[in-house]
Chain A
Amino acid sequence: MQKILQTTALVALTLAPAMAMAQDVRDWPAIKDAAQGQTVFWHAWGGDPRINAFIASVGSDLQARYGVTLEHVRLADTADAVTRVIAERQAGRDTGGAVDAIWINGANFASMKEQDLLFGPFAEDLPNWPLVDTEANPAVLVDFTLPVEGFGSPWAMFQMVFEYDSARLPEPPRSLDALRAWIADNPGRFTYPQPPDFLGTSFLKQVLYGVLDDTSVLMGPIEDIDYDAVTAPLWTFLDEITPNLWRQGRAFPANEPALAQLLADGEIDIGFAFNPGRASAAIADGELPATVRTFVFEEGTLANSSYLSIPSNAANIEGALLLANLILDPEIQARAQDPSVLGFQTVLGMDRLDAEDRARFDALELGIATLAPDEMGTGLLEPHPSWMTRIAEDWTARFGTGQ
């Protein structure tokens, strides 16, 4: 009897990892079976009603196709989800975690990957992965200078575009130098979100690309350089424009939607966003006048990708995998690219799709304010994540508490 019990225990022990192997991404039918009835908690930024509606529509598809429920946990800041996972890890919760999937990139992705908090690699084994065009868009494999290595599945590409109302501003400034001169001539008509907001700090990085003689330092960690000397031109630039910003730089909008509202209210003449299709979608929804257009800098603008990652302690890994695959589905990707829905740039390669799916994309209009792909200019690589953290801290010390 004793012996049998021991054997059973032994079998159970050896079986335990095997059961976890149901999460072997290459065994897709097993994943689908295991995911049945799961509820996937997708932690994603919740500040834009259009994106929230899109996520809800993905949830309907997930339910209809796989019987998996999607809960969108609306974050004010992606870092909140990272905190949650770290806290769970500290409390010893290695399975059954509250976060199943995160919309992530940049410093958050880097810190989770470094601390070994991510499930994977999984992305390159997803059934829809062959549709992703990694040859035309090699950038989707590298997030903020760090190789993704399959720990995040890219699902949309972004590039910073500036937005302006052509009825008020016939010819916008198409470079950082031109913007600098334009701000001096048009006081009070430009601003950026208050760092450490993601978009606001991204603007600082865009300025760095314009004021640094040697931009190669941006690709490495900030610890490797003489920080004060290298970043001095950034602070000189900001000191120069600040008195001529909206409200003389005494107040800043909180984030991207707040900046967009200022443009809509006519409080500023030039706004910007990471989604090149945002302006067209906002026009379609009656939030911006139909005369709004977009432009990029001649020297290029920052470009990055959004990823879906799965924490290694997630309670519903199988469901999260189905979600990761579903948002690479041509039908969903075409929906995200539809300018009246989101206007996101797809990661799929058109030559990798069958005729029916290609037709979905061909049917899409570009959107009245959206630039054609050949007008988008150079996409600048995101600097190493350490830049974002450090310059945001520095900005707060210099401009954030000034009164």
Chain B
Amino acid sequence: MARAGLWAALTLLALPVLAGLAGVLGPAFGYLPALGRSTVSLDPWQAVLAWPGLGAAMRLSVVTGILSTAISMALTLLIVAAWQGTRSFQWITRALAPSLSLPHAAAAFGLAFLIAPSGWIARAFSPWATGWELPPDLLIVNDPWGLALVAGLVVKEVPFLLLMVLAALPQSDSLRGQMVARSLGYGRVMGWMKAVAPRVYAQIRLPVYAVLAYSMSVVDVALILGPTRPPTLAVQILEWMNHPDLGMRFQAAAAALLQLGLVLGVLALWIAGERLVARWGVGWAAGGARGIAADTVLRPLGAGAALGIGLAVGLGLAGLLVWSFAGLWQFPALWPDSFSLRVWSGQSAALQRRLWETALIALGATGIALALSIAALQAGARGASAALIYLPLIVPQIAFLPGLATFALILGVDGTRWAVMAAHLVFVLPYVYLALADPWHAWDRRAGLVAAGLGAGPARVLWAVRLPMLTRALCVAFAVGFATSVAQYLPTLLIGAGRVSTVTTEAVALAASSNRRLIGVWAVMQMALPMAVFAMALMLPALLFRRRQGMQIG
């Protein structure tokens, strides 16, 4: 039965991705009988190539993807190298952890308001320091180089990579490695980079690839912060997908394949880069430079990076919250002239419905994902099958979801809540599995042996011993899955055919309107829902185990 669960989980992950890709392949070559085209042709490709923005859009995807991944990676390693093992490090990880449950779109909205020429930063220094009575005419958000987009990705990916590094540290023997390096006279950062980083990196390669693929093909963040003339390739694909003329879907499919090729190409480039860095790194490590002086620069830099990211997310969200209650709020005033509940009360009916829909979809998808993850782990998923878990995270959403949407249309299930839930499951399952895998394997097997010795069968051991003991991890995994589901934009939009609306699709749909009060309301709800579930996930075990001393933390 457990083995069946494993196969169910793997099929569930691989099948939609492969079916989706197959569903893109046909239309990309002009074949889609449902739309009355049953001959193969290269017309869609010619249409894509004829689009004048193609070169720029491709360059944007590649540059913003590589840049944001490299910067996120560097900052994460720097923060850990400079501060691991200190009290400050615990503080940093605690401060950044909540932003993991924060949907990318909400963080991007917050950042946009912070850094815009009429945003909070400019207001704080105007007019007394800058002399600006009016916002300066500076192209910051939606800049043609995609730097605002890179910034938006970095503030979200650093906390994610940090969590991945934290999970990898125990298996990297990091503290002893660090100690030996330091006793040999290495500086803190230099010692960690030379002795620990190679072992840590080897363990977080898959998450890094996922970040790279995601950054290259993200849609919601690019809609909010990215350039518009032209947009990134992924955004343009979505525009073609949603074009009133259904014939544009062929073009969208061809471009989706192009996007996939682009991601695979850059992944290959990144892996080649890894080799180069590894070769150069051996010489660098053997060179023996102790880098003690570097600590005086690098340690504050690491702390500064962590602080900057924390502030960007925190202040951005505070800004959205203030906007949602704001009356008249003109530049350069730091605070609104007045506050009102007008927008909140105006949206309350719509909010209630969308929250209900969002929660229902998230509960269903996460519940199924949790059951499948337990089944897969019980069956002992390892190695290649575990790597398959990453498939939906590495193949860009925009590359296979259009194909999946076409299948949904043909089957007549598009626009239903259940189809959206199933699509969410594809992305929720990997995260739930990843969140559960480490605590699952770290469980002390002796408890199981004792239970077996007392006559319990494997099922009883699972239900009566292992799962109760893992309650805390199960709750966290559930919260991670819930947050993942809430944050899904593209699957909801494409499979929901615009008829299933969640707080996220509503919030991103408002992005173009720049109505900050309205965006504030929806982004705050988008953030509040997963945070509430996280809070419950932390409280529930404490409540359940209040009379069981052995299950208390520390």
- Genuine A/B complex: yes
Residues of A within 8 A of B (CB): 46-49, 52-53, 56, 73-74, 76-77, 79-80, 82-83, 86-87, 90, 98, 168, 187-189, 194, 246-248, 250-255, 257-258, 261-262, 264-267, 285-289, 397, 399-403
B236 to chain A, nearest CB (A): 10
Contact assessment for B135 and A265 in the assembled complex, using a CB-CB cutoff below 8 Å: yes
A80 to B227, CA, bound (A): 24
Contact assessment for B515 and A49 in the assembled complex, using a CB-CB cutoff below 8 Å: yes
Which of A77, A83, A254, A266 sits near B330, CB closer than 8 Å?
Answer: A266
Contact assessment for A251 and B228 in the assembled complex, using a CB-CB cutoff below 8 Å: yes
Contact assessment for A261 and B514 in the assembled complex, using a CB-CB cutoff below 8 Å: yes
Chain B's closest residue to A397 (CB) is B52
Q: Within 8 Å of chain A (Cβ to Cβ): is B230?
A: yes
Contact assessment for B135 and A266 in the assembled complex, using a CB-CB cutoff below 8 Å: yes
A349 to chain B, nearest CB (A): 32
Q: Within 8 Å of chain A (Cβ to Cβ): is B233?
A: no
Contact assessment for A250 and B515 in the assembled complex, using a CB-CB cutoff below 8 Å: no
Asked, given contacts A49-B515, A402-B229, whether A286 binds B328 with beta carbons under 8 Å apart, the answer is yes
**In the complex, the 5 A-B pairs of residues with the closest C-beta atoms, listed nearest first:** A401-B53, A188-B137, A286-B327, A79-B244, A257-B513
- Chain A residues with CB under 8 Å of B144's CB are 250-251, 403
Asked, given contacts A80-B242, A80-B244, A399-B229, whether A267 binds B117 with beta carbons under 8 Å apart, the answer is yes
A248 to B137, CA, bound (A): 9
Which of A53, A76, A403 sits near B230, CB closer than 8 Å?
Answer: A403
Contact assessment for A247 and B139 in the assembled complex, using a CB-CB cutoff below 8 Å: yes
Stretch of B308-316, B337-345, B366-374 that contacts chain A: B337-345
A288 to B330, CA, bound (A): 8
Contact assessment for A285 and B342 in the assembled complex, using a CB-CB cutoff below 8 Å: yes
Which of B35, B134, B509 sits near A266, CB closer than 8 Å?
Answer: B134
- 17 A-B Cβ contacts within 8 A? A52-B350, A53-B346, A56-B349, A83-B246, A189-B137, A247-B138, A252-B228, A257-B514, A257-B515, A258-B514, A265-B118, A266-B118, A266-B331, A288-B328, A289-B328, A399-B229, A402-B229
Contact assessment for A286 and B340 in the assembled complex, using a CB-CB cutoff below 8 Å: yes
Contact assessment for A400 and B513 in the assembled complex, using a CB-CB cutoff below 8 Å: no
A266 to B340, CA, bound (A): 21
Contact assessment for B346 and A258 in the assembled complex, using a CB-CB cutoff below 8 Å: no
- Chain A residues with CB under 8 Å of B244's CB are 77, 79-80, 82-83, 86
B348 to chain A, nearest CB (A): 11
Contact assessment for A194 and B229 in the assembled complex, using a CB-CB cutoff below 8 Å: yes
What band does the interface of chain B fall in when counting residues whose beta carbon is under 8 Å from A? 35 or more
Residues of B within 8 A of A (CB): 35-36, 51-53, 56, 117-118, 134-135, 137-139, 142-144, 227-230, 242, 244-246, 326-328, 330-331, 337-338, 340, 342-343, 346-347, 349-350, 498-499, 509, 512-518
Which of B117, B229, B327, B509 sits near A252, CB closer than 8 Å?
Answer: B229
Which of A56, A246, A251, A261 sits near B229, CB closer than 8 Å?
Answer: A251
Contact assessment for B331 and A265 in the assembled complex, using a CB-CB cutoff below 8 Å: yes
Contact assessment for A87 and B246 in the assembled complex, using a CB-CB cutoff below 8 Å: yes
- Chain A residues with CB under 8 Å of B117's CB are 267
- Chain A residues with CB under 8 Å of B512's CB are 47, 76, 254-255, 257-258
- Chain A residues with CB under 8 Å of B135's CB are 265-267
A395 to chain B, nearest CB (A): 11
A382 to chain B, nearest CB (A): 20
Asked, given contacts A250-B144, A266-B330, A289-B328, whether A255 binds B229 with beta carbons under 8 Å apart, the answer is no
A246 to B137, CA, bound (A): 7
A192 to chain B, nearest CB (A): 14
Contact assessment for B338 and A286 in the assembled complex, using a CB-CB cutoff below 8 Å: yes
Chain A's closest residue to B328 (CB) is A286
Chain B's closest residue to A403 (CB) is B56
Contact assessment for B513 and A47 in the assembled complex, using a CB-CB cutoff below 8 Å: yes
A271 to B49, CA, bound (A): 36
B239 to chain A, nearest CB (A): 10
- Chain B residues with CB under 8 Å of A82's CB are 244
A262 to B518, CA, bound (A): 15
B414 to chain A, nearest CB (A): 11
- Chain B residues with CB under 8 Å of A187's CB are 137
Chain B's closest residue to A257 (CB) is B513
Asked, given contacts A82-B244, A266-B330, whether A49 binds B346 with beta carbons under 8 Å apart, the answer is yes
Contact assessment for B330 and A194 in the assembled complex, using a CB-CB cutoff below 8 Å: no
- Chain B residues with CB under 8 Å of A289's CB are 328, 330
Chain A's closest residue to B116 (CB) is A265
A253-B514, A258-B514, A289-B328 given; 8 more Cβ-contact pairs under 8 Å: A188-B137, A194-B228, A261-B514, A286-B327, A287-B328, A401-B53, A401-B230, A403-B227
- Chain B residues with CB under 8 Å of A47's CB are 512-513
A87 to B117, CA, bound (A): 43
Which of A49, A74, A77, A254 sits near B347, CB closer than 8 Å?
Answer: A49
- Chain A residues with CB under 8 Å of B143's CB are 251
Which of B229, B349, B515 sits near A403, CB closer than 8 Å?
Answer: B229
Asked, given contacts A246-B137, A258-B512, whether A401 binds B52 with beta carbons under 8 Å apart, the answer is yes
A178 to chain B, nearest CB (A): 21
- Chain A residues with CB under 8 Å of B52's CB are 397, 401
Asked, given contacts A252-B229, A255-B512, whether A264 binds B330 with beta carbons under 8 Å apart, the answer is yes
- Chain A residues with CB under 8 Å of B35's CB are 90
Most chain A beta-carbon neighbours within 10 Å: one of B134, B227, B340: B134
Asked, given contacts A80-B242, A258-B514, whether A247 binds B137 with beta carbons under 8 Å apart, the answer is yes
Contact assessment for B330 and A255 in the assembled complex, using a CB-CB cutoff below 8 Å: no
- Chain B residues with CB under 8 Å of A288's CB are 328
A47 to B518, CA, bound (A): 10
A145 to B512, CA, bound (A): 30
A52 to B346, CA, bound (A): 9
Chain A's closest residue to B501 (CB) is A74
B353 to chain A, nearest CB (A): 11
Chain B's closest residue to A76 (CB) is B509
Chain A's closest residue to B506 (CB) is A74
Most chain A beta-carbon neighbours within 10 Å: one of B229, B245, B350, B516: B229
A397 to B51, CA, bound (A): 9
A209 to B244, CA, bound (A): 28
- Chain B residues with CB under 8 Å of A286's CB are 326-328, 337-338, 340, 342
Contact assessment for B56 and A401 in the assembled complex, using a CB-CB cutoff below 8 Å: yes
- Chain B residues with CB under 8 Å of A250's CB are 139, 144, 229
Contact assessment for A400 and B509 in the assembled complex, using a CB-CB cutoff below 8 Å: no
B50 to chain A, nearest CB (A): 10
Chain B's closest residue to A264 (CB) is B330
Chain B's closest residue to A285 (CB) is B342
- Chain B residues with CB under 8 Å of A254's CB are 228, 512-514
A98 to B134, CA, bound (A): 47
Contact assessment for A400 and B246 in the assembled complex, using a CB-CB cutoff below 8 Å: no
Contact assessment for A49 and B343 in the assembled complex, using a CB-CB cutoff below 8 Å: yes
Contact assessment for B229 and A400 in the assembled complex, using a CB-CB cutoff below 8 Å: yes
- Chain A residues with CB under 8 Å of B337's CB are 286
A128 to chain B, nearest CB (A): 28
- Chain A residues with CB under 8 Å of B242's CB are 80
Which of A258, A267, A402, A403 sits near B118, CB closer than 8 Å?
Answer: A267
- Chain B residues with CB under 8 Å of A77's CB are 244
- Chain A residues with CB under 8 Å of B342's CB are 285-286
A48 to B517, CA, bound (A): 12
A56 to B352, CA, bound (A): 15
Chain B's closest residue to A262 (CB) is B514
A105 to B347, CA, bound (A): 27
A301 to chain B, nearest CB (A): 23
Contact assessment for B118 and A49 in the assembled complex, using a CB-CB cutoff below 8 Å: no
B209 to chain A, nearest CB (A): 29
Chain A's closest residue to B349 (CB) is A56
- Chain A residues with CB under 8 Å of B56's CB are 401, 403
A266 to B123, CA, bound (A): 12
B59 to chain A, nearest CB (A): 9
Asked, given contacts A266-B135, A286-B338, whether A258 binds B513 with beta carbons under 8 Å apart, the answer is yes
A74 to B498, CA, bound (A): 9
A18 to chain B, nearest CB (A): 31
- Chain A residues with CB under 8 Å of B349's CB are 56
